[in-house]
């Protein structure tokens, strides 16, 4: 929420994000390129534009809210903690999924980001 609030007033801030050194050195965008513009678009309700700038930012924000909501529901219901072996499987699945999303996001950015 804080980042979206900052993105909403980003144009009025005296400090701007520096140019991407990765893109300047190699000529291709890094995995985070377009993230600031994506957050700004999200802050102004332009979801399609935000997704076009950097899909991983939109997916990450949606996933974070979903994760918090799921945790809140589990807390309200009084659910027990998962056994360590089951928790480890879930963590492994999440790590592999996030890695896959970031790789696909980077490919998208290389192909389609200005």
Mean pLDDT throughout 16-28? 89
Residue 84: is its pLDDT beyond 80? Answer: yes
Residue 75: is its pLDDT beyond 70? Answer: yes
Prediction pTM value: 0.82
Q: How many domains does the chain have?
A: 1
Mean pLDDT throughout 17-22? 87
Task: Please give the Cα distance from 96 to 17 (Å, whole number).
Answer: 30
Whole-number pLDDT of residue 102: 96
Is-contact 38 58, C-beta < 8 A? yes
Mean pLDDT throughout 51-80? 94
Tokens read off for 82: 């998962």
Residue numbers of the domain that contains 101: 2-112
The 3-state DSSP class for residue 4 equals: helix
Whole-number pLDDT of residue 16: 79
Give the pLDDT band (50/70/90) at residue 61: very high
Tokens read off for 42: 């999200």
């Amino acid at each position: 929420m804080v980042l979206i609030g900052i993105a909403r007033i980003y144009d009025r801030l005296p400090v701007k994000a520096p140019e991407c050194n990765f893109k300047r050195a190699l000529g291709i965008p890094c995995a985070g390129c377009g993230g600031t513009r994506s957050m700004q678009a999200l802050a102004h309700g332009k979801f399609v534009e935000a997704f076009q700038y950097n899909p991983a930012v939109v997916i990450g924000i949606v996933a974070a809210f979903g994760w918090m909501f799921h945790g809140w529901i589990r807390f309200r219901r009084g659910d027990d903690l998962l056994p360590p072996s089951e928790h480890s499987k879930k963590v492994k699945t999440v790590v592999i999924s996030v890695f896959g999303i970031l790789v696909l996001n980077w490919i998208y950015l290389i192909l389609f980001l200005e």
